[in-house]
Amino acid sequence: MIGLMAFLGNPGKEYAKTRHNAGFMLCDYLYPGMTYQMKYHSQFAKAGSIMILRPMTFMNLSGTAVSEAASFYKLRADSIMVVHDDLELPLGEARIQKGGGLQGHNGLRSIKERLGTDGFYRLRIGIGRPLHGDVRLYVTSPFTKDESITLQSLFPLIGRMLATPDKEQRVSVP
| pLDDT 10s digits, 54-104 | 999 999 999 999 999 999 999 999 999 999 999 999 999 999 999 988 777
CA gap 140, 114 in Å, rounded = 24
User: Would you state the pLDDT for residue 70?
Assistant: 98
- Which one-letter DSSP state was computed for residue 25? H
Active site residue 105: no
Selected from 3.40.50.1470, 3.40.30.10, 3.40.1050.10, 3.40.50.80, the CATH number assigned to the domain covering 4-172 reads 3.40.50.1470
**Residue from 20, 41, 84, 105 carrying the catalytic annotation:** 20
What would the mean pLDDT of 117-144 be, rounded to a whole number? 95
What is residue 102's predicted lDDT score, i.e. its pLDDT?
Answer: 79
Q: Which H or E run contains 51?
A: strand 50-55
What is the predicted pLDDT for the residue at 57?
Answer: 95
24-58 tens-digit pLDDT: 999 999 999 999 999 999 999 999 999 999 999 99
When pLDDT is cut at 50, 70 and 90, the band that residue 165 belongs to is confident
The helix/strand/coil state of 47 is strand
Sheet holding 169-172, edge to edge: 37-39, 42-47, 50-55, 4-7, 80-86, 121-126, 93-98, 169-172
* 160 pLDDT more than 90: yes
| Paired residues of 39 in beta bridges | 42
- Give the per-residue pLDDT at 164: 86
